[in-house]
Amino acid sequence: MKILLLSIFLLACSCPPKEHNQYFSCLYYLTNEDKVFICLPGLNELWLIYGVDEHPTINGYLYTPNPAWAEWDSIKLAWTSYRDVPMEHLTKYTVYNSGFASSWGFDSPTWPSGGAHYDQLPRIINATYNYFVWSGDFDFLHDMYPKLKLILDYMISHSEDGLFVTPCPSPSNYMDQIRFCHKDAWINAALYTSIKNMAEIEEFIGGNDSTYYRKLEKQFHEDYNEAFWDQYTGRYIGWINSDGARHDYGFPFISLEALYRGLGDYYKAYRIFYWIESNERYLYYYKIAPRTNMNTINEKDWDDWSGPVRPRMFQNGGTLMWFAYYDIMARLKYTSKKDAFEKLIMLVKRLNSDSEKLTFNNRNYTDFGESITEIGTNQGPENGIALLPFLYGFMGITADTSGIHIKPNLPKGVGYMGARKINYMGEELSVHLFAEGEIVISMESIVENVMELFK
């Protein structure tokens, strides 16, 4: 595989025209006709709305100063120059002496709806890791490290059968109209990533607990699957109450995120996707992502702080756009590039088919008649991650403590994929991938200066 670094070759290559706010480009290449066509048309415009809020006429969301959103914000922005403010937010979230951290805003142990939430705990750890590996900011890691240790110790000390537990019946996470509690499969999936991330950080800085975290990672993987995998239905359940009752309403997002985080295997992935595809017409009714749940939430498991349980809302039969990120990334890992790419195409096509790209600025319904509480595209900045399988998955651009990595996964028929404004440790890069196997990496500052000479 040929790699060209800091390349002025870009001036001669068949890359798309560069615009100031151009982030992503994708071209089909038809060798028989020697023609190129845009694939994923409108992807960049959608990113300007849902990703970086740079669209000239449609308002979007950039980030939010709330710890439950921290990991989503980091997935979305850690690779960009927008990461500085959400990184600062992380340093300001209160981590109490017990190891519990603010649930809402910078220093509130409860959400406005009442009750403490707990999903912010692993998300703070995971966000810190994501920002550090992209920024290389050691002062930031030095500031956050003791807080991360406190949080992880808190979660480990509040465990039962190897899994973190929360009080019942208060909802434990962002999905706060559903009474996830005690052994929460969603929170514990994020905790698994936290354990892995802390092990890697410890290894990187020469800490004393790396071996302990690696052993914990292995044991946690076993404990998670023993508790939450349902062999009969072929999917992960939602939660286990303190009385041992298992609660499962057919949540695709739980199973897909568990696969994404490495908690599954090929057998479980086969069962999960068989279940999903057997119900595809119903689950993908909204096109942008699978529904939140297959079966209606029972009233006893519904927290009515915002009203009684009702159908076709994003926590009961509706959907949230960010589900698509975990869906597509899991498919890319366990099914095929073709399968994953078709889901990204379906998402982009649906967004582009609406006059306002499924945003709810000054309206209550989309062109398809979907309400603002039904598809959740205006819930917050997290929805932008739905577009990032393009970068992390198909382009295969990732970072960890050993550096930046590029492992292309271009779908068949795609001749070119490109991404600009990738900020790695303070240097803005452009990456261009070609079906022939060529990778072109350029420094934005060099390209911009050379382009000026040719104007």
Spatial distance between the Cα atoms of 90 and 109, rounded to a whole number of angstroms: 15
> Which residues neighbour 238 within 8 Å (Cβ) at sequence distance 6 or greater?
178, 180, 184, 185, 186, 247, 248, 249, 251, 254
The one-letter code for the residue type at 270 is: Y
Angle, CA of 189, 194 and 195, to the nearest 5°: 100
The answer to whether 383 and 359 are in contact (CB under 8 A) is no
Spatial distance between the Cα atoms of 167 and 71, rounded to a whole number of angstroms: 23
CATH number corresponding to 39-387: 1.50.10.10
Spatial distance between the Cα atoms of 312 and 286, rounded to a whole number of angstroms: 11
What pTM value is reported for the model?
Answer: 0.93
List residues bridging with 230 in a β-sheet: 235
Residue 178, token pair as written in the block: 């559903």
> Which residues neighbour 279 within 8 Å (Cβ) at sequence distance 6 or greater?
294
Sign of the alpha-carbon dihedral angle for 342, 410, 322, 376: negative
Spatial distance between the Cα atoms of 90 and 98, rounded to a whole number of angstroms: 18
The answer to whether 110 and 116 are in contact (CB under 8 A) is yes
Query: Going residue by residue through the chain (455 aa), what tens digit of pLDDT does each one get?
Result: 344 443 333 333 344 444 558 999 999 976 555 666 889 999 999 999 999 999 999 999 899 999 999 999 999 999 999 999 999 999 999 999 999 999 999 999 998 877 899 999 999 999 999 999 999 999 999 999 999 999 999 999 999 999 999 999 889 999 999 999 999 999 999 999 999 999 999 999 999 999 999 999 999 999 999 999 999 999 999 999 999 999 999 999 999 999 999 999 999 999 999 999 999 999 999 999 999 999 999 999 998 877 787 778 899 999 999 999 999 999 999 999 999 999 999 999 999 999 999 999 889 999 999 999 999 888 789 999 999 999 999 999 999 999 999 999 999 999 999 999 999 999 999 999 999 888 999 886 544 443 343 33
Q: Where are the domains of the chain?
A: 39-387
Sign of the alpha-carbon dihedral angle for 312, 315, 316, 317: positive
The answer to whether 101 and 121 are in contact (CB under 8 A) is yes
Spatial distance between the Cα atoms of 455 and 225, rounded to a whole number of angstroms: 59
